[in-house]
């Protein structure tokens, strides 16, 4: 197969932990052609979505890739186009999804579907499953958020478009900076944010559970906050611990998995704290390498095998 990965600049990817690198290494090991491009290199010409693409030689060491050659290619001529550009989901990101929708209309198989990347905000998507979530408010109104805080006493507030724990704050009534924090996050009442009741179970880890084309990966990556921190994100200094899914984790994952597949979400990363779903990540879910290293379950192999089963005949010439 011929696969195109739409990713952030190659030089910035960390080979020892990046899930996109794991995908590309596995694809190459299974005999597939691996090409990459960046969102800014997508364009439409004569009605077709195209991109400036680099064909890679992919290796297993730290010096993990070489560019064999570059060319302008039409996206429909790939078996699959894997969108792995990291948030923020800003104007540039959304415009890239529109270009990918043209590719899809041309006949390309884009994973995840561009419409899903636009329609399912990673924070707000949990509202599709109210029975699994903690009390939650989405608003730009500081007065409403303060009322929510008065009701729940201890809350988390976070922007709707960031990743890696960026912009997340824990607020209590005693916090002298809470009004300044809310003003900053909401841009003085112009931008909605999310507020959720604080979950003490974060001390046991923010669990990442992966769904691949409707199947549940049987291991979770629990991201344990460092001392004095409320965020478990690895980017915020959290420690990775892989563990088998609990009975509650399985209920949540097996409920969401068929829904995700139906929506065109080929890869999703659920975030679960204790017994509560907190996010449904659809842009560039991570955790492949940590889960594989600690459990022996090869997540990248599961992902590429799913592409092989579903996309091997998807080229439209």
The count of other CB atoms within 10 Å of the CB of residue 256 is 24
**Rounded to whole angstroms, how far apart are CA atoms 298 and 305?**
11
Q: Which residues are the active-site residues?
A: 123, 158, 208, 223, 231, 271, 279, 281
Residue 205 region by backbone torsions, left for phi larger than 0, else alpha for psi between -120 and 50, else beta: left
317 SS3 class: coil
Q: Of 115, 35, 23, give the one whose Cα is nearest residue 75.
A: 35
- What φ, ψ does residue 183 adopt, rounded to 5°? -60, -40
103: CB partners within 8 A, 6+ apart: 42, 49, 75, 76, 81, 110, 114
Distances (CA, A) of 239 to 91, 223, 293: 32, 5, 14
Q: Check residue 245 and report its DSSP letter.
A: P
DSSP labels for 134-202?
Answer: -SEEEES-HHHHHHHHHHHSEEEEEESS--TTTT-EEEETT-TTHHHHHHHHTTTTTS-EEEEE--GGG
């Amino acid at each position: 197969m011929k696969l195109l990965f739409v990713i952030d600049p190659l030089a910035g990817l960390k080979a020892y932990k990046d899930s996109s690198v794991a995908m590309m290494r596995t694809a190459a090991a299974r005999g597939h052609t691996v090409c990459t491009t960046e969102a800014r290199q997508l364009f439409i010409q004569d009605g077709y979505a195209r991109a400036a693409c680099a064909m890679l030689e992919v290796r297993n060491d730290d010096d993990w890739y070489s560019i064999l050659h570059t060319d302008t290619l039409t996206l429909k001529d790939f078996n699959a186009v894997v969108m792995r550009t990291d948030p923020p989901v800003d104007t540039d990101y959304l415009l890239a999804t529109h270009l990918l929708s043209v590719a899809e209309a041309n006949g390309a198989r884009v994973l995840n579907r561009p419409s899903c990347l636009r329609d399912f905000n990673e924070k707000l998507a949990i509202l599709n499953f109210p029975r699994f979530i903690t009390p939650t408010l989405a608003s730009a109104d500081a007065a409403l958020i303060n009322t929510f805080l008065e009701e729940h006493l201890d809350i988390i507030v976070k922007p709707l478009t960031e990743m890696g724990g960026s912009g997340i704050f824990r607020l209590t009534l005693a916090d002298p900076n809470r009004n300044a924090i809310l003003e900053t996050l909401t841009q003085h009442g112009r931008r909605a944010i999310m507020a959720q009741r604080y979950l003490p179970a974060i001390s046991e880890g923010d669990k990442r559970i992966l769904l691949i084309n409707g199947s549940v990966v049987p291991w979770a990556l629990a991201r344990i906050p460092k001392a004095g921190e409320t965020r478990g994100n690895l980017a915020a200094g959290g420690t990775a611990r892989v563990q088998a899914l609990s009975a509650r984790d399985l209920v949540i994952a097996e409920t969401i998995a068929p829904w995700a597949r139906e929506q065109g979400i080929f890869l999703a990363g659920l975030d679960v704290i204790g017994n509560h779903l907190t996010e449904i990540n659809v842009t560039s879910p991570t955790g492949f390498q940590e889960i594989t290293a600690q459990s022996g379950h090869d997540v990248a192999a599961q992902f590429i095998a799913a592409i092989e089963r579903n996309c091997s005949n998807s080229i439209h010439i």
